[in-house]
Structure formats: C-alpha cells, structure tokens
C-alpha cells in the first residue's frame, strides 16, 4: 500500500490549479498507437492519458490501451510559469506506479531512437493505492518478475490485464473471433437472435442443469444447457437462418476444458443438410483463423494446426478402422462389447450399441486427430435430435469437427419428422427410467412446434471457448474467460464482526 495518503494527493491536486484541462480533453483524443511509427522530426501538441508505470531519472513510462510510451519529464520544464513548474515537479515526485495522468507536449526521438513525449502539461487523473506487480522485459525478450500465479491472475484479472500484455491480446483475439463469425453469418443474411436463458424445461443437450426459482410465478426455472430447441422453433416460425451466441450453463465437473458457464454459437439454416454445413464450417473457421491470427496456420501447444480448406473427412466407422484396424460397421452389440474389451476401452454393462461405438471412438481416435477433421455419421442412439441417415441404417446425419484432439463443433441434419422426434424422446425417457440421468426430457411444446411442420434444416453448435483456446494457443479455458469460476477467497473474520454486534 502506498504510504502517500490519498487525502494528501487530492489536496495537492485541488491546490495546484491543475483542473484547467478538463477530463473531456482526454476522451477520444490521441492514443499512443498512432505515434509508434514516428519519424525524426518533432511533433507538437500531442496529448495522451494513461497509467504512470515508473520512472527513471527524467524518463517515465505511460501505459494506455495500446501499449507503453516513454515520457520525458524534466525538472522545471512542465508548466508555463515558475509556480506551475514547481508544483508539477512536486507532483511528479508524488506519482506512484499505477496512477492515472494526462500529459501534453511534443514528441521527439531520443538518442537511442525511442519515440518520447516531452511533457509540458501534466494533469493528475486518478490514484493507485496498491502496488501493481512490475513485470519487466529485457533486450533479449526475457521476462522478469512475471505475474504468473494462476490463482491471483484469475481472481484479480484486472491486474493480470494491466501487467500481462499477452493476456489482453488473447482476449482481443477472442473478440475478433466473435466479430469474424458475426460478419460471416450476417453477410449470408442470417439473423442474430436472443432466446431465453431461464427455461421451464432444459433441453437440446444432455447435461445436469442449474435450477432456480421464480418468486412471482412460483415456479422452478432452469438455466439453459443449450438453446437448440428455441432456435428450431424460430425456424418453424419461418426464419431461414438464425444464430445466437449463447451463454449456457451446465452443473457438472470443472477442468481445463470445462467451466460451469460457457459459450456456444448455435446456427440453424433451413433447406440445408449436414453436408452443406460442413462446407460452411470449413469456410467460416478458415476465415476466423485469418481474422484472428492473420494466417490459417496456428501454433497450438506442440502442434502446427492448419485451418486451410479442405479438411479431412472420415465417417466414424472409417476413423475407427483407420486407428484400430478393426471394421466395426457390421457388428452387433455383443461383438462391439468384445471389441471394446479387446481394445482395452473401459465400458460398463449399461452401454448400448451407440454408446459403445462412441466410447471406442473417444478412446482410440479423438486425441489423435490434430489437424481439423470432420467425423461424420454417428450412431442414432447418441443423437436424439438428428435426422436418420438417408442411406445408412442405424446412423444419423451428424458430424463433429475435431481439432487438436478435441471436439470444436457438432452439427446435424435436424430431425424434422415430428413422429420420429416423439419416438426418440420416448426412448430417451426409457433410458431415463433405466437410470441414465443424462437422458433428455420430453418437451411437448417443442413437439407441437414440429407438428406444425419444420423445413429440412441444418444445425450447428460451436464451443466458442474451445475454439478460443485453439485460436489463442491457450492451455486452459480459464485463459479465454475473463472471470473463470472460482471458489470464494477464504477471508479472515473482520475484527468488527468478531467483537459482536
């Protein structure tokens, strides 16, 4: 904590007559970025504002949202008369790392060639009472005293963002990713929509929900686990293409790939199928890679991943045969069970045919798919909302894109046969009765919507956090969420409370 009292600082400011420059003057005025390409000649009347980030002799660093700029604050030169100069010299001595100041002066290039603002006017704008961790980088690019403790970084993201430029860059990339997708979909004429987060029935995925209660209606509501069923209602309503960036909530385990709240984009387009959607995904994610990183080739961990079209496509059976040498396409449940055992895939007795196939794939194939790859044609048991395959018995028209060993999207030709959909829900209910707590619940209103008729539709869901991890080369979902979920800090009981009321 700074020993300099805040009141002292404020008093100083109020007596120094430095309010002449209004705050408005710093809003929307020049930032540091335009000056980084500065040449040799001086450039007058430059005004910037930001955090004071330390001083050595007359040279100081100012940091704003674009980066850092050097200031030259020579004693006795800031201000128009001696009184002001003397006050400013005192103010400079009182500055603390993290304080906000506004400065005005002329730009010049120092002996070492660094673009520097020679400060002629100085305005105090805000006080920092806490010591920011000082991260320094030397000529070789080595980082000293980095602010690295993950717990502190996540709990105090504001500090992380101030002192770790790579962190803010990752979040800027995340936003670019959203913008890129919006631009792509809007250009195709699809409508960005919003649907309920509080839902009386949770559907569209298999997951345990968060449950809450509405007082006035006196009813249970769930935080959505997906928005699929609502977007399809909109397709029934006549929109040709709708999408939503959807914050979804799943009351399940946490890991470096799972946060209880996360974001998916879901897209539904009428009169299309999953083949068409595969092409859209390739085109869109290639663009996203370029828009976020300037290239289709991204270094992710140890892997160089190339989003350039076209991507490899495997059916799930082909993928399993490719990685295990076993053709399971004609096997019944008992043969699949034997095969899983032979491959040392952990299984249990409750697993049906579809689950066994999915398990073999997940265990033997998924992690080995590094380059973006489409896996198509999933078992019908795993996909109660997907349309049955037009030629392959027991399968649905579904694909996932796998990248860096993880699923990044899921898509199918949507089931638009209301009778089939009712049967699928009913078999989900059967699974539920047999103890599958992930089985979907039957949504009568959704079925009613389908009964009015839904055009053939292609649907897509992309895990935005997973995609952001790839696009920013992040190892944990926490690195692409500003405020990842954490347990509360344990606080010592304040003394006032300990003394009683």
Least distance from RNA to the Cβ atom of residue 297, Å: 24
Select from 79-87, 149-157, 214-222, 463-471 the region that touches RNA (CB under 7 A): 149-157
Work out whether 144 is an interface residue with RNA (CB under 7 A): yes
Work out whether 211 is an interface residue with RNA (CB under 7 A): no
**208 within 8 A of 248, measured Cβ to Cβ:** no
DSSP string across 217-237: TTEEEEE-S--HHHHHHHHHT
The whole-angstrom separation of Cα 174 and Cα 168 is 10
Q: Which of residues 4-33 bind RNA (CB under 7 A)?
A: 4
Select from 131-139, 268-276, 301-309, 445-453 the region that touches RNA (CB under 7 A): 131-139
Select from 40-48, 125-133, 186-194, 452-460 the region that touches RNA (CB under 7 A): 125-133
Work out whether 463 is an interface residue with RNA (CB under 7 A): no
- Cβ-based nearer residue to RNA, 130 or 214: 130
| Residues 145, 149, 153: CA angle, nearest 5 degrees | 105
Least distance from RNA to the Cβ atom of residue 325, Å: 22
Residue choice 6, 475, 482, 483 for contact with RNA (CB under 7 A) = 475
Contacts of 323 (CB under 8 A, 6+ apart): 364, 365, 368
**458 within 8 A of 413, measured Cβ to Cβ:** yes
DSSP string across 414-450: BP--HHHHHHHHHHHHHHHHTT-TTPPPP-HHHHHHH
- Cβ-based nearer residue to RNA, 59 or 100: 59
Q: Which of residues 90-109 bind RNA (CB under 7 A)?
A: 93, 96-97
- Cβ-based nearer residue to RNA, 294 or 492: 492
The whole-angstrom separation of Cα 307 and Cα 180 is 15
Q: Which of residues 420-439 bind RNA (CB under 7 A)?
A: 438
Q: What Cα–Cα distance (Å) separates residue 222 from each residue in 209, 246, 432, 481, 487?
A: 6, 15, 19, 23, 22
Q: Which of residues 31-60 bind RNA (CB under 7 A)?
A: 54, 56-59
Tokens (6 digits) for 97: 């790392």
Residue choice 45, 114, 335, 430 for contact with RNA (CB under 7 A) = 114
Select from 29-37, 238-246, 368-376, 381-389 the region that touches RNA (CB under 7 A): 381-389
Residue choice 15, 111, 215, 391 for contact with RNA (CB under 7 A) = 111
The whole-angstrom separation of Cα 180 and Cα 173 is 10
Work out whether 252 is an interface residue with RNA (CB under 7 A): yes
Q: Which of residues 317-376 bind RNA (CB under 7 A)?
A: 346, 358, 362
**248 within 8 A of 224, measured Cβ to Cβ:** yes
Residue choice 138, 218, 349, 501 for contact with RNA (CB under 7 A) = 138
Least distance from RNA to the Cβ atom of residue 33, Å: 18
Least distance from RNA to the Cβ atom of residue 138, Å: 3
**Residue in this structure with the two tokens 């490899």, named with its chain if needed:** 312
Q: What Cα–Cα distance (Å) separates residue 215 from each residue in 79, 199, 200, 218, 251?
A: 61, 14, 14, 5, 22
């Amino acid at each position: 904590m700074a020993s300099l009292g805040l009141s002292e600082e404020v008093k100083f400011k109020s007596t120094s007559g430095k309010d002449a420059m209004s705050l408005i003057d710093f809003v929307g005025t020049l930032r540091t970025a335009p000056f980084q390409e500065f040449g040799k000649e001086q450039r007058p009347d430059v005004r910037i504002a930001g955090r004071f980030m330390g001083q050595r002799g007359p040279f100081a660093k100012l940091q704003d949202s674009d980066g850092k700029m050097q200031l030259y604050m020579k004693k006795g030169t800031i201000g128009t008369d001696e009184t002001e100069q003397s006050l400013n010299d005192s103010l400079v001595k009182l500055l603390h790392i993290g304080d906000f100041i506004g400065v005005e002066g002329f730009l010049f290039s120092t002996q070492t060639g660094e673009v520097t603002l020679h400060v002629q006017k100085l305005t105090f704008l805000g006080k920092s009472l806490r010591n920011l961790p000082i991260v320094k980088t030397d000529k070789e690019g080595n980082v000293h005293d980095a602010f690295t403790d993950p717990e502190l970084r996540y709990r105090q993201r504001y500090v992380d963002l101030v002192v770790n430029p790579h962190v803010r860059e990752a979040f800027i990339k995340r936003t670019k990713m959203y913008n890129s997708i919006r631009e792509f979909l809007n250009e195709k004429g699809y409508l960005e929509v919003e649907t309920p987060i509080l839902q009386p029935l949770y559907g569209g995925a298999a997951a345990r929900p968060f449950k809450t209660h509405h007082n006035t209606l006196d009813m249970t509501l769930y935080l959505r686990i997906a928005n699929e069923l609502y977007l399809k209602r909109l397709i029934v309503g006549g929109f040709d293409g709708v999408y939503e960036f959807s914050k979804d909530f799943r009351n399940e385990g946490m890991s470096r790939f799972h946060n209880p709240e996360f974001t998916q984009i879901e897209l539904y387009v009428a009169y299309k199928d999953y083949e068409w959607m595969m092409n859209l995904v390739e085109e869109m994610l290639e663009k996203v890679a370029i828009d976020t990183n300037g290239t289709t080739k991204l270094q992710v961990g140890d892997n160089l991943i190339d989003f350039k079209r076209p991507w490899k496509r495997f059916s799930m059976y082909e993928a399993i045969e490719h990685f295990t040498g076993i053709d399971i396409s004609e096997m019944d449940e008992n043969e699949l069970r034997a095969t899983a055992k032979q491959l040392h895939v952990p299984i249990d007795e409750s697993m049906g045919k579809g689950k066994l196939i999915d398990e073999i794939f997940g265990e033997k194939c998924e992690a080995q798919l590094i380059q973006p790859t489409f896996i198509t044609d999933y078992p019908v048991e795993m996909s109660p909302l997907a349309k049955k395959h037009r030629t392959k018995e027991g399968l649905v028209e579904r694909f996932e894109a796998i990248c860096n060993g993880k699923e990044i999207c899921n898509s199918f030709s949507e089931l638009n046969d209301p009778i089939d959909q009712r049967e699928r829900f009913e078999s989900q209910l059967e699974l539920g009765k047999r103890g599958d707590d992930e089985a979907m619940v039957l949504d009568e209103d959704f079925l009613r919507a389908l009964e009015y008729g839904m055009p053939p539709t292609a649907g897509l869901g992309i895990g935005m956090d997973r995609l952001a991890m790839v696009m920013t080369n992040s190892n944990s979902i926490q690195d692409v969420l500003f405020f990842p979920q954490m347990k509360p800090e344990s606080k010592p009981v304040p003394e006032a409370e300990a003394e009683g009321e």
